[in-house]
A and B are shown apart, each in its own frame.
Chain A
Amino acid sequence: MKKVYPDARAALAGLLKDDMVIMAGGFGLCGIPETLIQAIRDSGVKGLTVVSNNAGIDGVGLGLLLDTKQIRKMISSYVGENKTFAQQYLAGELEIEFNPQGTLAERIRAGGAGIPAFFTRTGAGTSIAEGKEEREFNGERYVMERGLVADLSIVHAWMGDSEGNLVYRKTARNFNPMMATAGKVTVAEVEHLVQPGDLNPDHIITPGVYVKRIVHVPNAEKHIEQRTVRKRDKAAAPAGTGEEV
Protein backbone atom coordinates (compact mmCIF):
# COMPACT_ATOMS: atom_id res chain seq x y z
CA MET A 1 0.00 0.00 0.00
CA LYS A 2 1.33 3.34 -1.03
CA LYS A 3 1.07 6.04 1.64
CA VAL A 4 2.96 8.86 -0.04
CA TYR A 5 0.84 11.37 -2.02
CA PRO A 6 2.21 13.98 -4.43
CA ASP A 7 0.66 17.01 -2.74
CA ALA A 8 -1.64 18.06 0.10
CA ARG A 9 -4.71 18.21 -2.13
CA ALA A 10 -4.17 14.65 -3.30
CA ALA A 11 -3.45 13.49 0.25
CA LEU A 12 -6.86 14.79 1.39
CA ALA A 13 -8.81 13.63 -1.69
CA GLY A 14 -11.96 11.74 -0.72
CA LEU A 15 -11.51 12.41 2.99
CA LEU A 16 -13.27 15.76 3.38
CA LYS A 17 -16.98 16.24 3.95
CA ASP A 18 -19.09 19.01 5.47
CA ASP A 19 -19.72 18.91 9.25
CA MET A 20 -16.85 16.53 9.95
CA VAL A 21 -14.55 16.57 13.00
CA ILE A 22 -10.90 17.38 12.28
CA MET A 23 -7.99 17.35 14.73
CA ALA A 24 -5.15 19.71 13.82
CA GLY A 25 -1.77 19.44 15.56
CA GLY A 26 0.33 22.33 16.79
CA PHE A 27 0.75 24.71 19.72
CA GLY A 28 0.33 28.32 18.74
CA LEU A 29 1.91 28.40 15.25
CA CYS A 30 4.55 25.82 16.22
CA GLY A 31 4.24 22.42 14.54
CA ILE A 32 0.99 23.21 12.71
CA PRO A 33 0.13 21.29 9.51
CA GLU A 34 -0.13 24.49 7.54
CA THR A 35 0.06 22.99 4.04
CA LEU A 36 -2.80 20.60 4.83
CA ILE A 37 -4.83 23.44 6.37
CA GLN A 38 -4.37 25.44 3.14
CA ALA A 39 -5.62 22.45 1.14
CA ILE A 40 -8.68 22.17 3.41
CA ARG A 41 -9.37 25.85 2.82
CA ASP A 42 -9.08 25.38 -0.94
CA SER A 43 -11.49 22.40 -0.82
CA GLY A 44 -14.29 24.64 0.48
CA VAL A 45 -15.50 22.02 2.99
CA LYS A 46 -17.55 23.70 5.74
CA GLY A 47 -19.37 23.26 9.04
CA LEU A 48 -16.18 21.85 10.54
CA THR A 49 -15.62 21.01 14.17
CA VAL A 50 -11.90 21.50 14.74
CA VAL A 51 -10.01 20.13 17.74
CA SER A 52 -6.81 22.14 18.19
CA ASN A 53 -5.12 23.69 21.22
CA ASN A 54 -5.25 27.14 19.59
CA ALA A 55 -6.99 28.71 16.61
CA GLY A 56 -4.01 30.16 14.73
CA ILE A 57 -3.73 33.90 14.19
CA ASP A 58 -5.43 36.06 11.59
CA GLY A 59 -4.49 34.73 8.16
CA VAL A 60 -2.18 31.97 9.43
CA GLY A 61 -2.88 28.35 10.39
CA LEU A 62 -6.48 27.73 11.42
CA GLY A 63 -7.01 31.48 11.03
CA LEU A 64 -7.28 30.65 7.29
CA LEU A 65 -10.35 28.49 7.91
CA LEU A 66 -11.88 31.11 10.21
CA ASP A 67 -11.46 33.80 7.55
CA THR A 68 -13.53 31.69 5.16
CA LYS A 69 -16.06 30.71 7.90
CA GLN A 70 -15.46 27.01 7.29
CA ILE A 71 -15.30 26.27 11.03
CA ARG A 72 -18.53 25.94 13.02
CA LYS A 73 -17.03 24.85 16.34
CA MET A 74 -13.60 24.84 17.99
CA ILE A 75 -12.52 22.58 20.86
CA SER A 76 -9.45 24.37 22.27
CA SER A 77 -7.74 25.49 25.46
CA TYR A 78 -6.74 29.03 24.43
CA VAL A 79 -7.78 31.20 21.49
CA GLY A 80 -6.53 34.60 22.60
CA GLU A 81 -4.39 35.37 19.56
CA ASN A 82 -7.07 35.52 16.90
CA LYS A 83 -9.20 38.65 16.31
CA THR A 84 -11.38 37.01 13.64
CA PHE A 85 -12.16 34.33 16.17
CA ALA A 86 -13.39 36.88 18.71
CA GLN A 87 -15.54 38.68 16.10
CA GLN A 88 -17.21 35.49 14.86
CA TYR A 89 -17.73 34.20 18.38
CA LEU A 90 -19.34 37.44 19.56
CA ALA A 91 -21.55 37.45 16.44
CA GLY A 92 -22.78 33.95 17.33
CA GLU A 93 -21.27 32.42 14.15
CA LEU A 94 -18.77 30.25 15.96
CA GLU A 95 -19.09 27.86 18.87
CA ILE A 96 -16.27 27.23 21.32
CA GLU A 97 -15.76 24.43 23.82
CA PHE A 98 -12.90 25.29 26.16
CA ASN A 99 -10.96 22.37 27.61
CA PRO A 100 -8.11 22.70 30.08
CA GLN A 101 -4.96 22.09 28.04
CA GLY A 102 -3.95 18.92 29.88
CA THR A 103 -7.49 17.58 29.78
CA LEU A 104 -7.59 18.24 26.03
CA ALA A 105 -4.26 16.45 25.51
CA GLU A 106 -5.39 13.48 27.61
CA ARG A 107 -8.83 13.28 25.96
CA ILE A 108 -7.06 12.93 22.59
CA ARG A 109 -4.53 10.43 23.97
CA ALA A 110 -7.37 8.41 25.54
CA GLY A 111 -9.46 8.53 22.36
CA GLY A 112 -6.58 7.17 20.31
CA ALA A 113 -5.91 4.46 22.90
CA GLY A 114 -9.51 3.19 22.99
CA ILE A 115 -10.26 4.62 26.43
CA PRO A 116 -13.77 6.16 26.42
CA ALA A 117 -13.39 8.20 29.62
CA PHE A 118 -11.07 8.93 32.53
CA PHE A 119 -11.10 10.84 35.82
CA THR A 120 -8.96 13.91 36.48
CA ARG A 121 -8.62 16.38 39.36
CA THR A 122 -8.30 19.18 36.81
CA GLY A 123 -11.36 21.45 36.94
CA ALA A 124 -12.99 19.81 39.99
CA GLY A 125 -15.12 22.43 41.75
CA THR A 126 -15.08 24.74 38.69
CA SER A 127 -17.54 25.44 35.85
CA ILE A 128 -15.65 22.89 33.71
CA ALA A 129 -17.09 20.12 35.92
CA GLU A 130 -20.71 21.19 35.44
CA GLY A 131 -22.85 18.41 33.95
CA LYS A 132 -20.03 15.89 34.24
CA GLU A 133 -19.92 12.83 36.48
CA GLU A 134 -17.73 13.34 39.56
CA ARG A 135 -16.26 10.72 41.88
CA GLU A 136 -14.17 10.74 44.98
CA PHE A 137 -10.92 8.76 45.06
CA ASN A 138 -8.74 8.78 48.20
CA GLY A 139 -10.70 11.68 49.61
CA GLU A 140 -10.32 13.94 46.52
CA ARG A 141 -12.88 14.93 43.90
CA TYR A 142 -12.28 13.92 40.31
CA VAL A 143 -14.14 14.87 37.12
CA MET A 144 -14.95 12.38 34.38
CA GLU A 145 -13.74 13.47 30.95
CA ARG A 146 -14.45 11.65 27.68
CA GLY A 147 -11.93 10.39 25.17
CA LEU A 148 -11.92 12.29 21.86
CA VAL A 149 -11.66 10.92 18.35
CA ALA A 150 -11.91 12.62 14.96
CA ASP A 151 -12.94 11.76 11.42
CA LEU A 152 -9.60 13.13 10.26
CA SER A 153 -6.36 14.12 11.98
CA ILE A 154 -3.80 16.34 10.26
CA VAL A 155 -0.31 16.49 11.78
CA HIS A 156 3.07 18.05 11.03
CA ALA A 157 6.32 16.13 11.54
CA TRP A 158 9.97 16.93 10.93
CA MET A 159 10.88 13.60 9.34
CA GLY A 160 8.81 10.72 8.09
CA ASP A 161 9.45 7.62 6.04
CA SER A 162 7.21 6.14 3.36
CA GLU A 163 5.76 3.74 5.97
CA GLY A 164 4.43 6.72 7.96
CA ASN A 165 6.90 6.47 10.85
CA LEU A 166 7.27 10.00 12.20
CA VAL A 167 9.88 12.00 14.12
CA TYR A 168 9.11 15.47 15.46
CA ARG A 169 11.47 18.36 16.15
CA LYS A 170 11.78 20.16 19.51
CA THR A 171 8.57 21.77 20.79
CA ALA A 172 6.88 21.27 17.40
CA ARG A 173 5.93 17.82 18.75
CA ASN A 174 3.20 19.17 21.15
CA PHE A 175 -0.24 17.76 20.20
CA ASN A 176 0.84 16.01 16.99
CA PRO A 177 1.64 12.51 18.36
CA MET A 178 -1.68 12.11 20.22
CA MET A 179 -3.70 13.48 17.32
CA ALA A 180 -1.98 11.05 14.96
CA THR A 181 -3.49 8.21 17.05
CA ALA A 182 -7.01 9.65 17.40
CA GLY A 183 -8.08 10.22 13.80
CA LYS A 184 -10.06 7.57 11.89
CA VAL A 185 -7.73 8.68 9.13
CA THR A 186 -4.47 10.52 9.85
CA VAL A 187 -2.65 12.52 7.19
CA ALA A 188 0.88 13.69 8.01
CA GLU A 189 2.90 16.41 6.31
CA VAL A 190 6.66 15.91 6.74
CA GLU A 191 9.51 18.34 6.14
CA HIS A 192 11.90 15.53 5.24
CA LEU A 193 10.61 12.40 3.50
CA VAL A 194 12.99 9.44 3.80
CA GLN A 195 13.04 5.74 2.97
CA PRO A 196 12.33 2.90 5.44
CA GLY A 197 15.53 2.22 7.35
CA ASP A 198 16.70 5.82 7.25
CA LEU A 199 15.11 6.64 10.61
CA ASN A 200 16.60 5.15 13.75
CA PRO A 201 13.77 2.91 15.02
CA ASP A 202 14.63 3.97 18.58
CA HIS A 203 13.85 7.58 17.68
CA ILE A 204 10.44 7.08 16.05
CA ILE A 205 7.71 8.82 18.07
CA THR A 206 4.68 7.95 15.92
CA PRO A 207 4.78 4.42 14.47
CA GLY A 208 3.49 4.13 10.89
CA VAL A 209 0.38 2.17 11.88
CA TYR A 210 -1.29 5.45 12.82
CA VAL A 211 -0.54 7.27 9.57
CA LYS A 212 -2.55 6.50 6.42
CA ARG A 213 -1.25 9.20 4.10
CA ILE A 214 1.91 11.28 3.89
CA VAL A 215 2.81 14.37 1.96
CA HIS A 216 6.27 15.90 1.61
CA VAL A 217 6.38 19.64 2.43
CA PRO A 218 10.06 20.59 1.96
CA ASN A 219 9.32 24.30 1.78
CA ALA A 220 6.79 24.59 4.59
CA GLU A 221 6.79 28.11 5.92
CA LYS A 222 7.27 28.37 9.68
CA HIS A 223 5.95 31.28 11.70
CA ILE A 224 7.11 32.84 14.94
CA GLU A 225 4.33 34.27 17.08
CA GLN A 226 6.39 36.01 19.79
CA ARG A 227 9.91 36.79 18.62
CA THR A 228 11.95 37.20 21.81
CA VAL A 229 15.74 37.63 21.73
CA ARG A 230 18.64 38.78 23.90
CA LYS A 231 21.61 40.96 23.08
CA ARG A 232 24.95 39.33 22.41
CA ASP A 233 26.82 41.56 24.81
CA LYS A 234 24.96 40.24 27.83
CA ALA A 235 27.10 37.43 29.16
CA ALA A 236 25.08 34.93 31.16
CA ALA A 237 21.30 35.41 30.97
CA PRO A 238 18.99 33.43 33.20
CA ALA A 239 16.33 31.12 31.76
CA GLY A 240 13.33 32.78 30.17
CA THR A 241 14.76 36.27 29.98
CA GLY A 242 15.57 38.82 27.35
CA GLU A 243 13.24 41.19 25.59
CA GLU A 244 10.37 41.09 23.20
CA VAL A 245 10.98 42.63 19.81
Chain B
Amino acid sequence: MPWTREQMAERAAQELRDGFYVNLGIGIPTLVSNYIPAGMSVQLQSENGMLGFGPFPYEGEEDPDLINAGKQTITEIPTTSFFSSADSFAMIRGGHIDLSILGAMQVAENGDLANWMIPGKMVKGMGGAMDLVAGVKKVVVVMEHSAKNEPKLLKQCTLPLTGAGVVDMVITDLGVFTIDKKGKGGMTLIELAPGVPLEEIRAKTEAAYKVDGRLN
Protein backbone atom coordinates (compact mmCIF):
# COMPACT_ATOMS: atom_id res chain seq x y z
CA MET B 1 0.00 0.00 0.00
CA PRO B 2 1.51 3.37 -0.96
CA TRP B 3 1.77 5.91 1.84
CA THR B 4 -0.95 8.57 2.19
CA ARG B 5 -0.06 12.26 2.39
CA GLU B 6 -0.26 12.03 6.18
CA GLN B 7 1.98 8.96 6.25
CA MET B 8 4.54 10.68 4.02
CA ALA B 9 4.55 13.61 6.45
CA GLU B 10 4.89 11.21 9.37
CA ARG B 11 7.88 9.57 7.69
CA ALA B 12 9.46 12.99 7.04
CA ALA B 13 9.03 13.81 10.74
CA GLN B 14 11.48 10.98 11.51
CA GLU B 15 14.21 13.29 10.14
CA LEU B 16 13.56 15.79 12.96
CA ARG B 17 16.00 15.90 15.89
CA ASP B 18 15.76 17.57 19.28
CA GLY B 19 16.85 21.22 19.04
CA PHE B 20 16.37 21.47 15.27
CA TYR B 21 15.42 24.70 13.51
CA VAL B 22 13.25 23.69 10.56
CA ASN B 23 11.64 25.31 7.53
CA LEU B 24 8.54 23.57 6.13
CA GLY B 25 7.25 24.24 2.61
CA ILE B 26 3.61 24.48 1.55
CA GLY B 27 1.50 21.31 1.03
CA ILE B 28 2.47 17.93 2.49
CA PRO B 29 5.56 19.44 4.24
CA THR B 30 3.25 21.65 6.34
CA LEU B 31 1.65 18.45 7.71
CA VAL B 32 5.00 17.40 9.23
CA SER B 33 4.30 19.72 12.17
CA ASN B 34 1.49 17.32 13.19
CA TYR B 35 4.08 14.62 13.85
CA ILE B 36 6.72 16.38 15.94
CA PRO B 37 7.36 13.80 18.70
CA ALA B 38 6.17 14.84 22.16
CA GLY B 39 8.99 16.29 24.25
CA MET B 40 11.14 17.15 21.22
CA SER B 41 12.05 20.82 20.84
CA VAL B 42 11.68 21.85 17.19
CA GLN B 43 11.44 25.51 16.20
CA LEU B 44 9.75 26.25 12.88
CA GLN B 45 11.13 29.08 10.76
CA SER B 46 8.97 31.19 8.46
CA GLU B 47 11.11 32.90 5.85
CA ASN B 48 9.20 36.19 5.85
CA GLY B 49 10.82 36.82 9.26
CA MET B 50 9.71 34.67 12.19
CA LEU B 51 11.31 31.86 14.18
CA GLY B 52 9.17 29.70 16.43
CA PHE B 53 5.48 29.78 15.54
CA GLY B 54 2.36 28.13 16.87
CA PRO B 55 -0.90 26.84 15.40
CA PHE B 56 -3.49 28.87 13.52
CA PRO B 57 -5.26 31.44 15.75
CA TYR B 58 -8.66 30.90 17.31
CA GLU B 59 -11.44 32.37 15.22
CA GLY B 60 -11.66 36.09 15.90
CA GLU B 61 -8.03 36.35 17.03
CA GLU B 62 -6.46 36.59 13.56
CA ASP B 63 -3.79 39.30 13.36
CA PRO B 64 -3.00 40.74 9.90
CA ASP B 65 0.53 41.52 11.15
CA LEU B 66 1.17 37.87 12.05
CA ILE B 67 1.43 35.55 9.05
CA ASN B 68 3.62 32.71 7.83
CA ALA B 69 5.39 32.37 4.49
CA GLY B 70 2.18 30.97 2.96
CA LYS B 71 0.48 34.26 3.98
CA GLN B 72 -1.70 32.33 6.45
CA THR B 73 -2.60 33.79 9.83
CA ILE B 74 -0.54 32.15 12.58
CA THR B 75 0.22 32.59 16.31
CA GLU B 76 3.20 33.36 18.53
CA ILE B 77 4.66 30.99 21.10
CA PRO B 78 6.97 31.83 24.04
CA THR B 79 10.11 31.15 21.95
CA THR B 80 9.05 33.38 19.03
CA SER B 81 11.36 36.00 17.57
CA PHE B 82 10.72 38.41 14.69
CA PHE B 83 13.30 39.80 12.25
CA SER B 84 13.56 41.29 8.77
CA SER B 85 13.50 39.19 5.61
CA ALA B 86 17.21 40.01 5.11
CA ASP B 87 18.01 38.58 8.56
CA SER B 88 15.74 35.63 7.79
CA PHE B 89 17.65 34.70 4.67
CA ALA B 90 21.00 35.37 6.35
CA MET B 91 19.85 32.65 8.77
CA ILE B 92 18.98 30.37 5.83
CA ARG B 93 21.92 31.15 3.54
CA GLY B 94 24.36 31.11 6.44
CA GLY B 95 23.58 27.47 7.20
CA HIS B 96 21.86 28.06 10.57
CA ILE B 97 18.67 26.19 9.68
CA ASP B 98 19.04 22.43 10.15
CA LEU B 99 16.36 21.04 7.88
CA SER B 100 14.19 22.14 4.97
CA ILE B 101 11.28 19.93 3.91
CA LEU B 102 9.68 20.92 0.62
CA GLY B 103 7.75 19.64 -2.37
CA ALA B 104 9.09 19.12 -5.91
CA MET B 105 8.04 18.60 -9.50
CA GLN B 106 11.24 16.69 -10.39
CA VAL B 107 14.38 15.43 -8.63
CA ALA B 108 17.42 14.04 -10.47
CA GLU B 109 19.75 11.30 -9.30
CA ASN B 110 22.54 13.88 -8.68
CA GLY B 111 20.34 15.90 -6.30
CA ASP B 112 19.15 18.52 -8.79
CA LEU B 113 15.71 19.89 -7.89
CA ALA B 114 13.02 21.50 -10.06
CA ASN B 115 9.95 22.95 -8.36
CA TRP B 116 9.37 26.51 -9.51
CA MET B 117 8.39 26.81 -13.14
CA ILE B 118 6.96 25.01 -16.16
CA PRO B 119 7.99 26.70 -19.42
CA GLY B 120 4.98 27.94 -21.35
CA LYS B 121 2.86 28.38 -18.24
CA MET B 122 2.42 31.60 -16.28
CA VAL B 123 5.35 31.71 -13.88
CA LYS B 124 4.51 32.80 -10.36
CA GLY B 125 8.07 33.06 -9.08
CA MET B 126 10.40 31.01 -6.91
CA GLY B 127 9.81 32.82 -3.61
CA GLY B 128 12.39 31.58 -1.10
CA ALA B 129 12.84 28.06 -2.51
CA MET B 130 16.17 28.70 -4.26
CA ASP B 131 17.65 30.25 -1.11
CA LEU B 132 16.38 27.44 1.11
CA VAL B 133 17.82 24.60 -0.96
CA ALA B 134 21.13 26.42 -1.40
CA GLY B 135 21.56 27.30 2.27
CA VAL B 136 19.85 24.83 4.61
CA LYS B 137 22.02 22.02 6.00
CA LYS B 138 19.72 19.14 5.00
CA VAL B 139 17.10 19.23 2.24
CA VAL B 140 14.32 16.63 2.23
CA VAL B 141 11.84 16.47 -0.66
CA VAL B 142 8.36 15.02 -0.07
CA MET B 143 6.42 14.32 -3.27
CA GLU B 144 4.26 11.82 -5.16
CA HIS B 145 6.45 9.23 -6.87
CA SER B 146 5.00 10.00 -10.31
CA ALA B 147 2.76 12.63 -11.88
CA LYS B 148 0.07 11.29 -14.25
CA ASN B 149 2.20 8.16 -14.77
CA GLU B 150 5.25 10.27 -15.67
CA PRO B 151 8.28 9.58 -13.43
CA LYS B 152 9.45 12.48 -11.25
CA LEU B 153 12.72 10.86 -10.14
CA LEU B 154 14.85 11.35 -13.23
CA LYS B 155 18.35 10.97 -14.60
CA GLN B 156 18.23 14.69 -15.36
CA CYS B 157 15.56 17.26 -14.63
CA THR B 158 13.80 18.51 -17.76
CA LEU B 159 12.26 21.54 -16.00
CA PRO B 160 14.29 24.63 -15.04
CA LEU B 161 16.23 23.99 -11.83
CA THR B 162 15.56 25.44 -8.40
CA GLY B 163 18.94 24.18 -7.24
CA ALA B 164 21.78 22.06 -8.63
CA GLY B 165 22.93 19.17 -6.43
CA VAL B 166 20.90 20.21 -3.38
CA VAL B 167 18.61 17.30 -2.35
CA ASP B 168 19.69 14.88 0.42
CA MET B 169 16.57 12.73 0.69
CA VAL B 170 13.36 12.07 -1.25
CA ILE B 171 10.24 10.66 0.42
CA THR B 172 7.55 9.54 -2.02
CA ASP B 173 4.33 7.60 -1.54
CA LEU B 174 6.27 4.44 -2.50
CA GLY B 175 9.52 4.72 -0.57
CA VAL B 176 12.52 6.70 0.66
CA PHE B 177 15.72 7.51 -1.25
CA THR B 178 18.94 9.14 -0.08
CA ILE B 179 21.16 11.15 -2.44
CA ASP B 180 24.89 11.66 -1.97
CA LYS B 181 24.75 15.17 -3.42
CA LYS B 182 28.38 16.13 -2.71
CA GLY B 183 30.10 12.79 -3.37
CA LYS B 184 29.73 10.24 -6.12
CA GLY B 185 27.52 7.83 -4.21
CA GLY B 186 24.42 8.58 -6.28
CA MET B 187 20.91 7.69 -5.20
CA THR B 188 19.96 4.80 -2.89
CA LEU B 189 16.55 3.33 -2.12
CA ILE B 190 16.57 2.81 1.65
CA GLU B 191 12.91 2.11 2.51
CA LEU B 192 9.73 0.85 0.89
CA ALA B 193 6.19 1.76 1.83
CA PRO B 194 4.55 -1.35 3.29
CA GLY B 195 3.75 -3.93 0.61
CA VAL B 196 5.24 -1.94 -2.28
CA PRO B 197 7.40 -4.31 -4.35
CA LEU B 198 10.83 -3.33 -5.66
CA GLU B 199 9.51 -3.97 -9.18
CA GLU B 200 6.93 -1.20 -8.83
CA ILE B 201 9.63 1.30 -7.84
CA ARG B 202 11.79 0.12 -10.74
CA ALA B 203 8.95 0.58 -13.22
CA LYS B 204 8.13 4.08 -11.98
CA THR B 205 11.65 5.48 -11.54
CA GLU B 206 13.80 6.79 -14.39
CA ALA B 207 16.75 7.73 -12.17
CA ALA B 208 19.50 5.20 -11.56
CA TYR B 209 19.62 4.06 -7.93
CA LYS B 210 21.14 1.40 -5.74
CA VAL B 211 18.96 -0.69 -3.44
CA ASP B 212 20.00 -0.80 0.19
CA GLY B 213 21.04 -4.36 1.09
CA ARG B 214 18.36 -4.67 3.77
CA LEU B 215 15.60 -4.43 1.15
CA ASN B 216 16.69 -7.36 -1.02
Question: Are the C-beta atoms of A29 and B93 separated by less than 8 Å?
Answer: no
B72 surroundings in chain A (CB, below 8 A): 226-228, 244
B67 surroundings in chain A (CB, below 8 A): 27-28, 30, 171, 224-226
Residue-wise, chain B 25-64 has the 8 Å CB interface mask toward A (1 for contact) of: 0000010011010000000101111100111111111111
Question: Are the C-beta atoms of A122 and B82 separated by less than 8 Å?
Answer: no
Query: For the complex, what is the distance from the CA of A223 to the CA of B135, rounded to whole Å?
Result: 32
**Tally of contact residues, B, Cβ under 8 A:** 63
In-complex Cβ contact of A177 among B73, B84, B125, B165 (8 A): B84
In-complex Cβ contact of B134 among A30, A98, A122 (8 A): A122
Residue-wise, chain B 61-76 has the 8 Å CB interface mask toward A (1 for contact) of: 1111111101111101
**Tally of contact residues, A, Cβ under 8 A:** 67
Residue-wise, chain A 220-241 has the 8 Å CB interface mask toward B (1 for contact) of: 0011111111111000011111
A51 surroundings in chain B (CB, below 8 A): none
A227 surroundings in chain B (CB, below 8 A): 62, 72-73
B146 within 8 A of A: no
Question: Are the C-beta atoms of A79 and B125 separated by less than 8 Å?
Answer: yes
Query: For the complex, what is the distance from the CA of A228 to the CA of B69, rounded to whole Å?
Result: 13
Query: For the complex, what is the distance from the CA of A174 to the CA of B68, rounded to whole Å?
Result: 11
B161 within 8 A of A: yes
Query: For the complex, what is the distance from the CA of A198 to the CA of B124, rounded to whole Å?
Result: 42
Question: Are the C-beta atoms of A76 and B125 separated by less than 8 Å?
Answer: yes
Question: Are the C-beta atoms of B55 and A238 separated by less than 8 Å?
Answer: yes
A98 surroundings in chain B (CB, below 8 A): 123, 125-126
Question: Are the C-beta atoms of B160 and A170 separated by less than 8 Å?
Answer: no
Question: Are the C-beta atoms of A30 and B64 separated by less than 8 Å?
Answer: yes
- Least CB distance from B54 to A in Å reads 5
Query: For the complex, what is the distance from the CA of A199 to the CA of B56, rounded to whole Å?
Result: 31
| Complex: chain B residue closest to A100, CB-CB | B130
A175 within 8 A of B: yes
- Least CB distance from B162 to A in Å reads 7
Query: For the complex, what is the distance from the CA of A226 to the CA of B214, rounded to whole Å?
Result: 45
Query: For the complex, what is the distance from the CA of A53 to the CA of B85, rounded to whole Å?
Result: 10
Query: For the complex, what is the distance from the CA of A103 to the CA of B163, rounded to whole Å?
Result: 14
Question: Are the C-beta atoms of A230 and B56 separated by less than 8 Å?
Answer: yes
B197 within 8 A of A: no
| Complex: chain B residue closest to A237, CB-CB | B55
Known contacts A80-B125, A90-B122, A171-B65; is A105 also within 8 Å of B53 by CB? no
B201 within 8 A of A: no
A5 within 8 A of B: no
A242 surroundings in chain B (CB, below 8 A): 55-56
Query: For the complex, what is the distance from the CA of A223 to the CA of B67, rounded to whole Å?
Result: 11
Question: Are the C-beta atoms of B85 and A222 separated by less than 8 Å?
Answer: no
Residue ranges of A at the interface with B (Cβ–Cβ < 8 Å): 27-31, 53, 76-81, 86, 89-90, 96, 98, 100-103, 105-106, 108-109, 120-128, 158, 168-178, 205, 222-232, 237-245
- Supply 24 A–B pairs (Cβ within 8 Å), ascending by A: A27-B49, A100-B126, A102-B88, A103-B89, A106-B93, A121-B135, A125-B161, A125-B164, A126-B160, A170-B76, A170-B82, A175-B84, A176-B84, A228-B62, A228-B72, A229-B56, A229-B59, A229-B62, A230-B56, A232-B59, A238-B33, A239-B77, A241-B33, A245-B59
Q: Which 8 pairs across A and B sit closest by C-beta, in order of nearness?
A: A125-B164, A242-B56, A102-B89, A102-B131, A80-B124, A237-B55, A222-B64, A78-B125
A-B contact sample (14 more), CB < 8 A, given A100-B131, A101-B85, A170-B65: A79-B125, A100-B126, A100-B128, A106-B89, A122-B134, A125-B161, A128-B130, A174-B84, A178-B85, A239-B36, A240-B24, A240-B30, A242-B55, A242-B56
